[in-house]
Every structure is written in structure tokens, then in C-alpha cells.
Amino acid sequence: MWMPLLGLLFGAILGSAISFEIPIAYAKYMSIAVLASLDSVFGGIKSVLEDRFDGFILLTGFFSNTLLAAMLAYLGDKLGVDLYMAAVFAFGVRLFQNLATIRHHLISRTLRNLGPDKR
């Protein structure tokens, strides 16, 4: 249960510890990658709560989303259009939707556990 949180903490510490820094020119791609990973985390949690979880789908979704978003951002750079904003927007919207679903599931589950009579 605590493994994902520990993993998050571990990743953060690792990122802070290593001296490697991504050049500022790739900040756009990084922001998309961050959003894609967060989206995957919450999407995964949602699917767990919905009992539809599949590890393979999660991982492929994560990589393909990140890759597609990066390509979109690159294309936007070449065309002079801020296309990466579309990816940021799409991931942001999905993030909030997933969060809302997770909250919904958690609340209904808690209520069910507290008083099964109510249903």
C-alpha cells in the first residue's frame, strides 16, 4: 500500500541527489514528461479502484503518451506554434478527471464500509 508513495519519495530524492541537469531548452519536454507521468500515476490508481487495472496497459500508456507529447512539442517547435500547450492542456484535464473519479470512488467505498445498511 505504501510502496507507491515510498517510490515517489525515492524518485524525488534520486532526482535531487544526481548532479545531472536538463538544459533549459528542453524544459518544455520535461514539463510534458512530468505531466504524463503524473497522469499515468493517477490513471493507474483510478483503474485499480475500478478493478480494471492492467500493468502492461499502464506502462505502454505512460511511454506512448510521453513520446507522443514530446513529438507534438517538437513539431510545434518546428512550426512555431506552441503545440506542447495542447499536450499540457490534455494531460491537465485528464489529471483532474482522474482525481475526481478517485475521490468519488474513495468516498463511496468509505461510505459503504462504514454503513452497508445505507445502500
Partner 1 sequence: MRKWILPITFVCIISGLLLALQFKIQASQTPTPTEQRNEILVGIINNLENEISTYQERIAEIKAEIETIEDVTASYQDDIKYLQQKVQKAKLQAGLTNVKGRGIRITLDDNKSGLLLAPNDDPNRYIIHYENILNIITELKLGRAEAISVNGQRIVSTSEIRCVGNVILVNTTRLAPPFEIKAIGDPDRLEEILLAGEYDLLKSTGFPVSYEKFTEETPLEIPAYTGTFQFNYTTLN
CA-angle at 28, arms to 23 and 31, nearest 5°: 100
- Decide whether 53 or 74 has the Cβ nearer to partner 1: 53
- Decide whether 18 or 79 has the Cβ nearer to partner 1: 18
Q: How far is the CB of 117 from partner 1 (least distance, A)?
A: 26
Q: How far is the CB of 55 from partner 1 (least distance, A)?
A: 4
Q: How far is the CB of 26 from partner 1 (least distance, A)?
A: 9
- Decide whether 31 or 101 has the Cβ nearer to partner 1: 31
Location of C-alpha cell 475521490: 103
Identify the CA nearest to 60 among candidates 84, 44, 72, 74. Answer: 44
CA 71 to each of CA 2, 23, 31, 63: distance values in angstroms, whole numbers, following the listed order: 34, 18, 13, 12
Q: How far is the CB of 104 from partner 1 (least distance, A)?
A: 19
Identify the CA nearest to 39 among candidates 82, 78, 96. Answer: 96
Binding site for partner 1 (CB under 8 A): 1, 3-16, 20-22, 24, 27, 30-31, 33-34, 37-38, 40-41, 44-45, 48, 53, 55, 58-59, 62
